[in-house]
């Protein structure tokens, strides 16, 4: 079975630009979460969606937004990029009580 | 704010030794705990989950949970150079049944031949 997929793999943007990251969960998983991981830190929760509804939001500014589609895939949008947004963005899917399964991530570099 | 603390690394052990990784958490009512392995430049990979007090063994890995002490650990027996990675401890948010996790900063493990 295919795991969680993400696109693109790498992305370079300049400050002030906007970016959209995409994710497809494991088949059968209805929950998608987004995490940000900066170098030397553990992943930090950004959003969780279940059945197309937002179920949780971490401590991130309103520049970050997300949505989930009827096929359970998801997009993460970040507006007005800052240098500090440079990180590995991880998408994860899960079933209740089973832990999160991460995709390969999108490496975002903001210059 | 939920806190997850891991023993500071890096941890270096010889091949064949036991590597011991430790983690404490602040939320007393947490019920689900996970260990992830992350190779450099890769995403985290789920290697162990534990929900009840005691030990859980899977191959060379043993997870130990003590909810009274708010402590979870991972033992890696017969460590191999391929085990060299960063190990992340994660605790599930008690308010969520859908997997939201809080992570520690990770412990970097090096197994030398």
| Pairwise CB contact (< 8 Å): B100 & A33 | yes
From residue B70, alpha-carbon distances to A102, B29, B90 in Å are 26, 9, 13
Q: In what side-by-side order are the strands of the sheet with B4-6?
A: B4-6, B19-25, B71-76, B61-66, B54-58
Span A54-91, pLDDT tens digits: 988 999 999 999 999 999 999 999 999 999 999 999 99
Helix (H, G, I), strand (E, B) or coil at A28: coil
| Mean predicted confidence (pLDDT) in A42-64 | 93
Helix (H, G, I), strand (E, B) or coil at A64: strand
The answer to whether the peptide bond before residue B20 is cis (omega within 30 degrees of 0) is no
Give the list of residues 6+ apart from residue A21 with CB closer than 8 angstroms, or none. Answer: A6, A7, A8, A11, A34, A75, A76, A77, A78, A89, A91, A106, A108
- Check CB contact of B108 with chain A, cutoff 8 Å: no
List of chain B residues whose C-beta atoms are within 8 Å of the C-beta of residue A33 = 99-100
**pLDDT score, position B107:** 96
List of chain B residues whose C-beta atoms are within 8 Å of the C-beta of residue A100 = 34, 46, 90, 99, 101
Is the model more confident about A81 or about A94? Answer: A81
């Amino acid at each position: 079975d295919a795991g969680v997929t993400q696109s693109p793999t790498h992305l370079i943007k300049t400050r002030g630009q906007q970016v959209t990251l995409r994710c497809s969960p494991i088949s059968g998983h209805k929950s998608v979460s987004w995490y940000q991981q900066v170098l030397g830190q553990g992943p930090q929760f950004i959003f969780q969606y279940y059945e197309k509804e937002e179920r949780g939001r971490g401590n991130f500014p309103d520049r970050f937004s997300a949505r989930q589609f009827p096929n359970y895939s998801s997009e993460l949008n970040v507006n007005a990029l800052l240098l500090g947004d440079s990180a590995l963005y991880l998408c994860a899917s899960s079933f209740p009580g089973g832990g999160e399964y991460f995709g390969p991530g999108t490496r975002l570099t903001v210059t | 704010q939920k806190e997850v603390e891991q023993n500071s690394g890096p941890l270096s052990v010889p091949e064949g030794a036991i590597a011991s990784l430790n983690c404490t958490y602040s939320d007393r009512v947490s019920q689900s705990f996970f260990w992830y392995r992350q190779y450099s430049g890769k995403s985290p990979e789920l290697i162990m989950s534990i929900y009840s007090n005691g030990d859980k063994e899977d191959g060379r890995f043993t997870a130990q949970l003590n909810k009274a002490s708010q402590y979870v650990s991972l033992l890696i027996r017969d460590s191999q150079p391929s085990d060299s990675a960063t190990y992340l401890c994660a605790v599930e948010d008690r308010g969520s049944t859908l997997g939201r996790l809080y992570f520690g900063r990770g412990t970097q493990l090096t197994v030398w031949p």
